[in-house]
Amino acid sequence: MYLKKYLTEGLIQVAILLSLSGTRVDVGLEPGLLSPLHEMMLGPSAGITQTQFHNLWNHLEDGQPSHPKNVDLDGFTSRRLLGLVRSLDRLQVPNTELEAWLVHRVPDMLPGEHHGQPAPLERAHVRLEEDIAGPGLDPGDILRIQGENETGRDVHTEGGELDESPRPLSEWSQGSAWSNRSQQEETHRRVLSDHQMYSNSLDEEEGEMGDGAEEEEDQEEEPASRSGRERERRDSVSDRESAQNDEEQESLSLQECLRLLEHTFPLTHQPSEEILPAIGGAVDHEYLSAERGPLLSPLFPSEQPPLDLELQWEDLLEIMEPHGLDVSTRFPSYQDGPVQTPLDAAILSNYQSNSNSRNDNQMIYQDVHLMEAALPLGTISLHHPETRLLPLTPSTELDQHNMSLNLSEALENMDVNSSPRTPYHTNLISGDPLDDLNMGVDVEYGYTAFDMNPLTQDPEDNLITDNTSLGDPSNFDINFYPNDFTLASLTPQELSGANPNLPILPLSHLLVDDEEEGDYGLAGPLGDLLEDATILDEMSLLDLALEEGFSPEMAARLEEEGYLVPEQANRNTGPYDTVMPDNEEDDGGTSWSRMAQGSSRTLRQESGEKADSDSGLSLDCSFSPASPCGSESSCYSSSSSSSSSSSSVSSEGGLYSEENDQEDEEGEINLDMELEVTIKQEEEEGAVGGYYSSDVNKMVPSSYQEEKLFNGLPWQEHIGHDHSYNQAWPSTPTSVTGKTSKKKSKYSSRQSRTKSYSRSSAEQFVEAELWNRDDRRAQSLKIPFSNELIINLPVDDFNELLANHRLNEQQLNLVRDIRRRGKNKMAAQNCRRRKLGALQGLEVDVSGLRRRRAWLRREKQEALKSLQEMEQRLEGLYQEVMFSLRDEEGRPLDATDYALQFGANGSVTVTPRRQGTLPRGDSKAGKKHRDKK
């Protein structure tokens, strides 16, 4: 508050100075004219800049690591959003901004029902008329007010300079000479119409639309109706003339008003104390000794520099905004306020906005509420540094389901599942407690220990749900999920304390998981534990493999460890490298059928599931090659060739599953893993598996069930999405290192892929055993390790791996290419994910800005109304003062014929109105009681 006051006062001083100097600062309608401060307030106009405005607002610190090269939105979308954002930059409360501010300030300063101060108003009038000053007044016409002698200021001088007597407010709004005012109003109207246009274009809420229309109407009606209102006021004042009893009260009110204004606007202008005695004897000079003259200049919006005002508004709003960003801190700071939840805040915001509350506190709350309202409900848990902006789309809420479900289930299962995995836990996720939670969730769904990584892979889900509002209890009812029995046990604190970055199980995953749970997940905790133990063994073996280069012995050991489920056991082949495509070709149909039996359903499920969750943006940092667990994960990923195949199946949709069913009828069962691989290939058009996959399977045994379990694996992401390179692999693999040749193979593979379906199953098996291009190449060159390993191993490990394996130049090149492409693939996925996230953030920002604009409009309307009231009061007070004055003959002065002028030196003079007097002749004194029209 103090800061706000300080800044605003300073700005007002500047504004007043500019107004006094006759400088007209136009509203910064041009975005380019906006000052850096303004840009800081609203954020960079270019939404694609690295710094997003939501970051500048210090709210919704999105969880993504702010990349130095932030998302660069391209295309129409970015332009559209940018246009919206830029348009919002033009959301300036033009001329009445300061008015609005003052209107809010004044009531605060005027606890009582005080009327405005005529003196400053008149002074402002004088200032306004300086530019159009006509011939100097006859000194004889200048009436010196009592107290003039005190200061010894020569009123004549100023009167001569100023010549023009203040106009009545009616004239003030009408006179052609008031070009400034007219321009201002015109500008204002223009801006309003602009706002209206934007309102229409942005398809705002009806309430906003109504506001805009109303606002415009108000603006148009204002100038015309003002004169009428002023006349009415004058009449009322003249009526009161008979009741002199009220004069003293008015004077007192004026005194207090001036006093408060003085405190608020300590300026450099010399006080005009002369009027005080005239106004009322009770007036204390002490309070009016300073700067009363310019006090009212702020009341004249036409004289205010709109740019500063805009900045000031922005400043005011922005100062208060950050408070509304952090729920955890904000609400405590406003405990005395009604705000309890963002929803409440939004409601209260609307309510308060409509209730025309005008004191500062209310303003603050309005701002806070507004900002909260501007935030989607899903973005409540902003207290976490990595919280993200959430879209307003329903998907957010759906994802919140995931979040809450994950957390709750994780919490529920943590104690149960953590023990078997303790070593793994400590190794992999010691840094992040929530990973444990996530693991718990994974276990709950029968996923293997590595599933938690996969679960984190869904990029969109991460984007949307990473930072769902954990801290908001209101979300829980929304997040309640049928199978989530632990939500009730979760306290908001627990959830809020959880790491928002906890990977969220996508809704699709949940749904599928539910189904799968019926199939597999019901195995019970024992099965989970066994699986965990198996996974742990597998992981240890993989670690060893990483260190020792993944020798075939280790792969064999992994097989022997028996961590494979019975289904998997069938798939395990003997020594790595023993599987030959020919065998697959022979047994392809049988293995295919077997696989179909075991996993056809799973495949279908996965296909659907992947259809939902397969965003392609699934890469997650958890499996970063550089990370300690990256190698492990890579091992697992590499081992989970089946998972990749499953993902591929998913990408390929139900077509293959249907084929699987058909093949399944053949009923021939072959335990050969290669056959299985062949099946996969046939299912997935050779996307995964095959000869090379057998190696992978050796390293890390996998089954279709495991595929299911692993379907969230990061590797699965890229592998599974590699739908474009499922092609028939030449029976005689040829090493292709050149890019052109790669492309050729790639494209030809696609063509062959389409052909493969028309071919005989044997041919399909021959050609469909291949994965993607790199996999095939690796297979052809007999690269002794998986592509996943190649891609995801840290550099050192990778080099070590290469060193451990004597590879020829071709192999080395291929391995490097595989690594490069794989990493680039992940990078591309991350990039796209970030881009989407940025887009969503922009959308959220736009929505927030819209709300803010609506709020500002309402504020402006209120301010206008208040201003009108103030003007009325000022007019009344002015009349009162005039009536309290007497001319040389002791007759009251007619306010229509005389005007109060306030000199720069603080002197106050009563000057006749030229326009008023001229037509009326010299009836200044005699027509004091003349009715106004």
User: Which residues in this chain contact DNA in the complex, by CB under 7 A?
Assistant: 67-72, 74, 614-617, 624-626, 652-653, 717-725, 739, 742-743, 746-747, 750-751, 753, 772-774, 795, 798, 816-817, 819-825, 827-832, 834-835
Backbone angles phi, psi at 899, to 5 degrees: -140, 150
**Least distance (Å) between residue 842 CB and DNA:** 14
**Least distance (Å) between residue 747 CB and DNA:** 5
Q: Which is nearer to DNA, 229 or 746 (CB)?
A: 746
470's tokens: 């954990």
Q: Which is nearer to DNA, 319 or 812 (CB)?
A: 812
Rounded Cα distance between 161 and 148, Å, is 18
Rounded Cα distance between 548 and 309, Å, is 69
**Quick check: 181 and 867 in contact, CB under 8 A?**
no
184: helix, strand or coil: helix
Q: Which is nearer to DNA, 166 or 459 (CB)?
A: 459
386's tokens: 């990595």
Q: Which is nearer to DNA, 54 or 773 (CB)?
A: 773
Q: Which is nearer to DNA, 254 or 617 (CB)?
A: 617
**Least distance (Å) between residue 292 CB and DNA:** 56
Q: Which is nearer to DNA, 330 or 773 (CB)?
A: 773
Q: Which is nearer to DNA, 417 or 641 (CB)?
A: 641
Q: Which is nearer to DNA, 639 or 829 (CB)?
A: 829
Q: How many CB atoms lie within 10 A of CB 356?
A: 13
- For residue 444, which of 475, 479, 415 has the smallest C-alpha distance? 415
28's tokens: 């910064």
Q: What is the DSSP string of 511-558?
A: HHHHHHHHHTGGG-HHHHHHHHHHHHHHHHHHHHHHHHT--HHHHHHH
Q: How far is CA 691 from the centre of its chain?
A: 48
DSSP element (H, E) containing 346: helix 342-354
**Least distance (Å) between residue 130 CB and DNA:** 54
**Least distance (Å) between residue 726 CB and DNA:** 7
**Least distance (Å) between residue 552 CB and DNA:** 25
**Least distance (Å) between residue 825 CB and DNA:** 4
Q: Which is nearer to DNA, 189 or 832 (CB)?
A: 832
Q: Which is nearer to DNA, 238 or 651 (CB)?
A: 651
What letter does residue 23 receive in the DSSP assignment? -
Find residue 909's DSSP bridge partners.
Answer: 144, 901
Rounded Cα distance between 741 and 747, Å, is 10
Q: Which amino acid is at 463?
A: L
Q: How many CB atoms lie within 10 A of CB 201?
A: 11
**Least distance (Å) between residue 197 CB and DNA:** 26
Q: Which is nearer to DNA, 106 or 846 (CB)?
A: 846
Rounded Cα distance between 206 and 208, Å, is 5
**Quick check: 309 and 98 in contact, CB under 8 A?**
yes
Q: What is the DSSP string of 431-474?
A: T-HHHHHHHHHHHHTT--GGGHHHHTT-HHHHHHHTT--SS-TH
Q: Which is nearer to DNA, 127 or 833 (CB)?
A: 833
Rounded Cα distance between 843 and 830, Å, is 20
Q: Which is nearer to DNA, 281 or 738 (CB)?
A: 738
**Quick check: 620 and 465 in contact, CB under 8 A?**
no
898: helix, strand or coil: strand
- For residue 499, which of 438, 414, 416, 412 has the smallest C-alpha distance? 438
**Least distance (Å) between residue 5 CB and DNA:** 41
- For residue 400, which of 455, 297, 479, 323 has the smallest C-alpha distance? 479
* Residue 930 CB contacts under 8 Å (≥ 6 apart), including other chains: 894, 896, 923
Torsion of CA 511, 512, 514, 515, to 10 degrees: 130
**Quick check: 541 and 551 in contact, CB under 8 A?**
no
Find residue 900's DSSP bridge partners.
Answer: 910
**Least distance (Å) between residue 828 CB and DNA:** 4
* Residue 527 CB contacts under 8 Å (≥ 6 apart), including other chains: 446
**Least distance (Å) between residue 200 CB and DNA:** 24
Q: Which amino acid is at 712?
A: G
- For residue 320, which of 566, 589, 58 has the smallest C-alpha distance? 58
**Least distance (Å) between residue 614 CB and DNA:** 5
Q: Which is nearer to DNA, 78 or 253 (CB)?
A: 78
**Least distance (Å) between residue 831 CB and DNA:** 4
**Least distance (Å) between residue 775 CB and DNA:** 9
**Least distance (Å) between residue 337 CB and DNA:** 39
Burial 626-636 (b: 16+ CB within 10 A, else e): ebebbbbbbbb
**Quick check: 572 and 698 in contact, CB under 8 A?**
yes
Rounded Cα distance between 389 and 463, Å, is 9
**Least distance (Å) between residue 687 CB and DNA:** 10
Q: Which is nearer to DNA, 68 or 482 (CB)?
A: 68
Q: In the Cβ-directed half-sphere of 121, how many Cα atoms lie within 13 Å?
A: 24
Q: Which is nearer to DNA, 72 or 763 (CB)?
A: 72
**Least distance (Å) between residue 629 CB and DNA:** 14
Torsion of CA 20, 23, 29, 31, to 10 degrees: -110
- For residue 903, which of 158, 151, 92 has the smallest C-alpha distance? 158
**Least distance (Å) between residue 518 CB and DNA:** 25
Q: Which is nearer to DNA, 78 or 475 (CB)?
A: 78
> What are the C-alpha distances in Å from 2 to residues 6, 56, 109, 308, 761?
6, 22, 15, 19, 80
Q: Which is nearer to DNA, 72 or 577 (CB)?
A: 72
